[in-house]
Amino acid sequence: MAGDRVKVDSLLPFGADPHAYQAAPSDVAKIAESNLLILNGVEYEHFIESLLENAGGERVIVTATDGLTPNQMEDEENESQMVGDPHMWLDPNLVITYVENIRDGLIQIDPDGTETYNANAEAYITQLKNLDAWIVEQVNTIPAERRLLVTNHEAMGYFAERYGFEIVGAVIPSMSTDAGTSAKEMSALIEQIKATGAPAIFLGEVENADLANQIAAETGVKVVDSLYLETLTDGAPAATYIDMMKHNVTRIVEGLK
Ligand SMILES: [Zn+2]
């Protein structure tokens, strides 16, 4: 969206799991040099506070999810506390808000580029709407009773809501990969998979497959891995957000048909 008007860098390298990310010393320098910092928000960047403190200085901070209302879930460690679900980018309709927030941040630091940012944002929003229509078409090829998702952690709530999937459960019943699962939760999920006939467990590329493989062995379902839920790839198959979504949807459709 910024075209060549600004230099864009990212804190997390390809293939890093943001839930488990440990900031690197070089991140402080990157932030210190920046005029604009874009975050997802909803506590996704759990590492950011100390980085900001160490970097000092001032910059515009855009929280891409600003204006959206996150779904709430009980905290794994402390059940009396609710935590927000950060995975809003997995519904392209919500990403329209991301684009608008980022556009406004770019205009704030570089008002001379206003026209460019407006035009690029508008063009990208059209691409997001086309992506949404394409996903609906793909999902329609899955028999309705097989639109069942079992994932490794609770990442696909917004996606499921938008495209009419039922979330059967998650191997790690948490919105972070950085949590555990109990034997009781494991056997409950196995029962759920058997009861619903969910055909597959879907796994993000950066996630540990051990538990999913155990459950698959006990239930006879397949494990579909290499979804890119929270990271892009350096080149195919997930070089851009839109490629990432198309890749994931293709894997999901293949896994459920
Ligand atoms: Zn996640």
Q: How far is the CA of 155 from the centre of ligand 1 (A)?
A: 5
Q: How far is the CA of 41 from the centre of ligand 1 (A)?
A: 13
Residue 113's pLDDT is: 97
Residue 3's pLDDT is: 86
Are 1 and 106 within 8 A, CB to CB? yes
Residue 29's pLDDT is: 96
pLDDT mean values, one per 10 residues, the chain (257 residues): 92 93 94 97 95 96 98 82 95 98 98 98 98 98 97 96 97 90 94 97 92 96 95 96 98 97
Rounded Cα–Cα distance for residues 167 and 71 (Å): 14
Q: How far is the CA of 178 from the centre of ligand 1 (A)?
A: 9
Q: How far is the CA of 156 from the centre of ligand 1 (A)?
A: 8
Q: How far is the CA of 229 from the centre of ligand 1 (A)?
A: 7
Residue 188's pLDDT is: 96
Residue 2's pLDDT is: 87
Q: How far is the CA of 251 from the centre of ligand 1 (A)?
A: 18
Residue 220's pLDDT is: 96
What distance separates the 2 farthest-apart alpha carbons in the chain?
60
Q: How far is the CA of 111 from the centre of ligand 1 (A)?
A: 34
Q: How far is the CA of 151 from the centre of ligand 1 (A)?
A: 10
Neighbours of ion ligand 1 (CB under 5 A): 155
Q: How far is the CA of 207 from the centre of ligand 1 (A)?
A: 9
pTM, rounded to two decimals: 0.95
Q: How far is the CA of 172 from the centre of ligand 1 (A)?
A: 11
Residue 94's pLDDT is: 98
